[in-house]
Amino acid sequence: MNKNKNLKQFYNRVYVKGEKKHFTIKRETASLSEIKEVLKQISWKGKKVLDVGCGTGLFAYNAAKRGAFVLGIDFSTEAIDIANSQYTHKNLKFQSMDVNEIKEKFDVIVSNGTLEHMDDPLKSLKLFKKHLTKNGCIITTSPNWSNPRGYMLMPLLLLFNAPITLADLHYFTPVDFENFSKKLGMS
Protein backbone atom coordinates (compact mmCIF):
# COMPACT_ATOMS: atom_id res chain seq x y z
CA MET A 1 0.00 0.00 0.00
CA ASN A 2 1.36 3.39 -0.97
CA LYS A 3 0.67 5.63 2.04
CA ASN A 4 2.43 8.63 0.54
CA LYS A 5 0.94 8.32 -2.93
CA ASN A 6 0.46 12.10 -3.15
CA LEU A 7 4.00 12.93 -2.02
CA LYS A 8 5.15 13.80 -5.55
CA GLN A 9 2.30 16.29 -5.95
CA PHE A 10 2.95 17.66 -2.44
CA TYR A 11 6.59 18.40 -3.24
CA ASN A 12 5.81 19.75 -6.70
CA ARG A 13 3.50 22.28 -4.97
CA VAL A 14 6.23 23.10 -2.42
CA TYR A 15 8.78 23.78 -5.16
CA VAL A 16 6.35 25.80 -7.32
CA LYS A 17 5.48 27.92 -4.27
CA GLY A 18 9.17 28.22 -3.39
CA GLU A 19 11.07 26.44 -0.63
CA LYS A 20 11.70 29.65 1.29
CA LYS A 21 7.98 30.44 1.31
CA HIS A 22 7.07 26.92 2.39
CA PHE A 23 9.79 26.07 4.90
CA THR A 24 10.85 28.28 7.78
CA ILE A 25 14.26 29.92 8.04
CA LYS A 26 15.04 27.44 10.81
CA ARG A 27 14.39 24.56 8.35
CA GLU A 28 16.71 26.12 5.79
CA THR A 29 19.48 26.59 8.38
CA ALA A 30 19.05 23.00 9.57
CA SER A 31 19.36 21.72 5.98
CA LEU A 32 22.62 23.60 5.44
CA SER A 33 23.99 22.28 8.72
CA GLU A 34 22.96 18.74 7.78
CA ILE A 35 24.62 19.02 4.36
CA LYS A 36 27.87 20.26 5.93
CA GLU A 37 27.88 17.29 8.31
CA VAL A 38 27.31 14.79 5.51
CA LEU A 39 30.08 16.35 3.44
CA LYS A 40 32.50 15.80 6.35
CA GLN A 41 31.85 12.04 6.44
CA ILE A 42 34.09 10.91 3.58
CA SER A 43 36.46 12.09 0.88
CA TRP A 44 34.23 12.73 -2.13
CA LYS A 45 37.01 13.01 -4.73
CA GLY A 46 36.50 10.53 -7.57
CA LYS A 47 33.44 8.89 -5.98
CA LYS A 48 30.43 8.02 -8.10
CA VAL A 49 27.48 9.32 -6.02
CA LEU A 50 23.73 8.94 -6.20
CA ASP A 51 21.78 11.61 -4.30
CA VAL A 52 18.29 10.15 -3.76
CA GLY A 53 15.62 12.81 -3.28
CA CYS A 54 18.07 15.57 -4.18
CA GLY A 55 15.41 18.28 -4.08
CA THR A 56 16.78 21.49 -5.56
CA GLY A 57 20.33 20.12 -5.67
CA LEU A 58 22.36 21.89 -3.00
CA PHE A 59 23.97 18.75 -1.55
CA ALA A 60 24.65 17.23 -4.99
CA TYR A 61 26.31 20.43 -6.15
CA ASN A 62 28.55 20.62 -3.08
CA ALA A 63 29.60 16.97 -3.45
CA ALA A 64 30.43 17.61 -7.14
CA LYS A 65 32.54 20.64 -6.15
CA ARG A 66 34.50 18.27 -3.90
CA GLY A 67 35.33 16.01 -6.83
CA ALA A 68 32.45 13.50 -6.82
CA PHE A 69 30.59 12.47 -9.97
CA VAL A 70 27.01 13.02 -8.84
CA LEU A 71 23.65 11.98 -10.18
CA GLY A 72 20.93 13.80 -8.25
CA ILE A 73 17.48 12.27 -8.63
CA ASP A 74 14.09 13.37 -7.41
CA PHE A 75 10.61 12.40 -8.49
CA SER A 76 9.57 16.05 -8.30
CA THR A 77 10.00 17.49 -11.78
CA GLU A 78 9.70 20.96 -10.27
CA ALA A 79 12.67 20.29 -7.95
CA ILE A 80 14.79 18.99 -10.83
CA ASP A 81 13.94 22.03 -12.97
CA ILE A 82 15.10 24.29 -10.12
CA ALA A 83 18.25 22.19 -9.55
CA ASN A 84 19.15 22.38 -13.24
CA SER A 85 18.62 26.15 -13.29
CA GLN A 86 20.62 26.79 -10.08
CA TYR A 87 23.57 24.42 -10.25
CA THR A 88 25.90 23.42 -13.03
CA HIS A 89 29.13 21.52 -12.71
CA LYS A 90 31.00 19.19 -15.06
CA ASN A 91 30.58 16.33 -12.53
CA LEU A 92 26.89 16.92 -11.90
CA LYS A 93 23.70 15.66 -13.50
CA PHE A 94 20.10 15.98 -12.31
CA GLN A 95 17.30 13.73 -13.44
CA SER A 96 13.63 13.41 -12.57
CA MET A 97 13.14 9.73 -11.82
CA ASP A 98 12.13 7.17 -9.23
CA VAL A 99 14.93 5.38 -7.39
CA ASN A 100 13.46 2.07 -8.58
CA GLU A 101 14.55 3.00 -12.12
CA ILE A 102 18.26 3.01 -11.22
CA LYS A 103 20.30 0.40 -13.07
CA GLU A 104 23.90 1.30 -12.31
CA LYS A 105 26.15 1.01 -9.24
CA PHE A 106 27.53 3.80 -7.07
CA ASP A 107 30.33 4.23 -4.54
CA VAL A 108 28.08 6.31 -2.31
CA ILE A 109 24.31 6.61 -2.09
CA VAL A 110 23.08 9.60 -0.12
CA SER A 111 19.55 9.96 1.20
CA ASN A 112 19.11 13.24 3.05
CA GLY A 113 15.73 13.42 4.75
CA THR A 114 13.92 10.94 2.52
CA LEU A 115 13.58 7.65 4.41
CA GLU A 116 10.96 9.02 6.78
CA HIS A 117 8.67 9.58 3.76
CA MET A 118 9.02 6.10 2.27
CA ASP A 119 6.43 3.37 2.76
CA ASP A 120 9.08 0.75 3.54
CA PRO A 121 12.41 2.32 4.57
CA LEU A 122 14.18 -1.02 5.01
CA LYS A 123 13.12 -2.10 1.52
CA SER A 124 14.50 1.20 0.18
CA LEU A 125 17.79 0.69 2.03
CA LYS A 126 18.04 -2.83 0.58
CA LEU A 127 17.55 -1.32 -2.88
CA PHE A 128 20.29 1.21 -2.16
CA LYS A 129 22.64 -1.57 -1.02
CA LYS A 130 21.95 -3.50 -4.23
CA HIS A 131 23.25 -0.50 -6.19
CA LEU A 132 26.48 -0.07 -4.23
CA THR A 133 29.89 -0.96 -5.57
CA LYS A 134 32.05 -3.24 -3.46
CA ASN A 135 33.00 -1.32 -0.29
CA GLY A 136 30.42 1.34 -1.13
CA CYS A 137 28.48 3.21 1.54
CA ILE A 138 25.04 4.57 2.22
CA ILE A 139 24.79 7.91 4.00
CA THR A 140 21.36 8.84 5.24
CA THR A 141 19.92 11.55 7.44
CA SER A 142 16.54 11.76 9.07
CA PRO A 143 14.90 13.75 11.85
CA ASN A 144 15.72 12.26 15.27
CA TRP A 145 12.63 11.96 17.42
CA SER A 146 14.65 11.20 20.59
CA ASN A 147 14.54 14.77 21.86
CA PRO A 148 12.19 17.03 23.86
CA ARG A 149 10.22 18.00 20.74
CA GLY A 150 9.75 14.35 19.83
CA TYR A 151 8.77 13.42 23.36
CA MET A 152 6.04 16.07 23.26
CA LEU A 153 4.74 15.29 19.76
CA MET A 154 4.86 11.49 19.77
CA PRO A 155 2.07 11.11 22.39
CA LEU A 156 -0.16 13.25 20.14
CA LEU A 157 0.47 10.84 17.30
CA LEU A 158 0.15 7.66 19.35
CA LEU A 159 -2.81 8.65 21.53
CA PHE A 160 -4.84 10.76 19.14
CA ASN A 161 -3.47 9.86 15.69
CA ALA A 162 -2.75 13.57 15.26
CA PRO A 163 -0.47 14.30 12.30
CA ILE A 164 2.75 15.81 13.62
CA THR A 165 4.46 16.45 10.28
CA LEU A 166 3.16 17.19 6.80
CA ALA A 167 4.57 14.16 5.00
CA ASP A 168 6.58 11.90 7.36
CA LEU A 169 5.38 8.33 7.76
CA HIS A 170 8.13 7.24 10.17
CA TYR A 171 9.61 8.79 13.29
CA PHE A 172 13.12 7.39 13.66
CA THR A 173 15.61 7.30 16.50
CA PRO A 174 19.27 6.26 16.37
CA VAL A 175 18.22 2.77 17.48
CA ASP A 176 16.20 2.38 14.26
CA PHE A 177 19.31 3.08 12.19
CA GLU A 178 21.37 0.61 14.22
CA ASN A 179 18.70 -2.01 13.52
CA PHE A 180 18.66 -1.14 9.81
CA SER A 181 22.44 -1.58 9.71
CA LYS A 182 22.22 -5.00 11.34
CA LYS A 183 19.49 -6.15 8.97
CA LEU A 184 21.53 -4.96 6.00
CA GLY A 185 24.73 -6.55 7.27
CA MET A 186 26.42 -3.15 7.26
CA SER A 187 28.09 -1.03 9.92
Q: How far apart are CA 83 and CA 78, in angstroms?
A: 9
| pTM recorded for the entire structure | 0.83
Which residues of the chain fall below pLDDT 70? 1-5, 7-8, 10-30, 147, 151, 157-158, 163-168
pLDDT in tens, 38-53: 999 999 999 999 999 9
pLDDT in tens, 95-119: 999 899 999 999 999 999 889 888 8
DSSP codes joined into one string, 115-180: GGGSS-HHHHHHHHHHTEEEEEEEEEE-----SHHHHHHHHHHHHH----SSS------HHHHHHH
DSSP codes joined into one string, 37-77: HHHHSS--TT-EEEEET-TTSHHHHHHHHTT-EEEEEES-H
> Which residues on neighbouring strands pair with residue 138, listed in sequence order?
109
